[in-house]
Amino acid sequence: MNPVTIHYLNVSLGFGVIIAQIFCVVALFLLFFGPKKNFYLDFINKHVLILGFLISFVSAVFPLVYSEIIHFLPCYLCWWQRVFMFPLVLMFAVALWDKDRKVIRYALPLLCAGFLVSLYQNFFYYFGESSALPCDASGVSCYQHLVSEFGGYISIPMMALTAFFALLTLLVVAHFYGKNKID
């Protein structure tokens, strides 16, 4: 792929990441501080399986696009995040096929583990010192800033963190929405 196409892909994914982050924050705010009945949360609760499948599918396809087509090799932490994200596509696909909302129980451990790895990676990516990096900067490293859009805010680690955060938000809304709130 040529650099212009890669740049437009990065910008498009960057906009998607920012929009997903906004939607997640709004959903969590409405869940904990909003009215008991809400159209936005009703929509998420009703379509949690299809949304979970779409987010996990996109989150599995684009790392493969970056590594196999654009040839950005994944670092050690990116591989671990793939280990936790890729099975979610199949889990949500089967749950969507069977209309099984119990997938929340099975997806939650994978999401939490992937979220923690991604949070760790983002912390060191944005705030860590170069001497304390968990990835070896001499070889494949997540600190090579292969994607850096919107002033450096959007990166491959931020995309992964947003995907895990969005899926966790879906599961939290699906689990807690409509139940008695703690006031």
Mean pLDDT, the chain, integer: 85
| Percent of the chain clearing pLDDT 90 (strictly above) | 46
Indicate the number of domains in the chain: 1
User: Given a cut of 90, is residue 92 above it in pLDDT?
Assistant: yes
Q: Between residues 128 and 97, which one has the greater pLDDT?
A: 97
Structural domain contains residue 107:
yes
Structural domain contains residue 133:
yes
Structural domain contains residue 151:
yes
| Percent of the chain clearing pLDDT 70 (strictly above) | 86
Residues 132-147, mean pLDDT to the nearest whole number: 60
What is d(CA 51, CA 23) in angstroms, rounded to the nearest whole number? 12
71 confidence band (pLDDT: 50, 70, 90): confident
Structural domain contains residue 181:
no
Tokens of 179: 């139940």
Say what the pLDDT of residue 36 is.
Answer: 84
Q: How confident is the model over 158-183, as pLDDT tens digits?
A: 989 999 999 999 999 998 886 644 43
Structural domain contains residue 182:
no
Q: Which domain holds residue 125?
A: 3-176
Q: Between residues 121 and 115, which one has the greater pLDDT?
A: 115
pTM of the model: 0.88
Region for residue 85 given its phi and psi (left: phi exceeds 0; alpha: psi -120 to 50; beta: otherwise): alpha
